[in-house]
A = this chain, B = another copy of it.
């Protein structure tokens, strides 16, 4: 309960009540200078390491979905058995290491603008995302 007033304001101004569960999850997700990728399961583990008060699985799901809806998290389409989430909500791209099964950010500035010479009538582009699959060089 130190500099949590920031999260409390953030939550309240989003129309989300600043409950102790949501504040704790904010601390875990956003109290770091580095962004990261996680599954719900990863997050559950981080929570149980960080606190003695249990947060129910349903609340973890609810909170992640609420944060995604508010734009504080992005969902990454990588794997169909489990959802991956990203605390980096800026427009960026990814390496996917197929050996380590690990996602690594590529800054948008490190990808030259992607030119697509075809359109779909009546549709507008919402985002352009590049996924670079990599593997161990032998």
Majority secondary structure, A binding face: strand
Which residues of A108-125 have CB atoms within 8 Å of chain B's CB atoms?
110-112, 114-118, 120, 122-125
**Contact A129:B127 (CB < 8 A) given known A77-B80, A115-B112:** no
Copy number in this complex? 2
In the complex, what distance in Å separates the CA atom of A135 from the CA atom of B81? 25
Residues of B with C-beta under 8 A to A136: 122-124
Extra A-B contacts (13), CB below 8 Å, given A106-B116, A120-B134: A75-B80, A77-B79, A80-B81, A80-B82, A98-B126, A111-B117, A112-B115, A112-B116, A112-B117, A114-B114, A123-B137, A127-B132, A128-B132
**Which residues of A are interface residues toward B (Cβ below 8 A)?**
75-84, 93, 95, 97-98, 104, 106-107, 110-112, 114-118, 120, 122-137
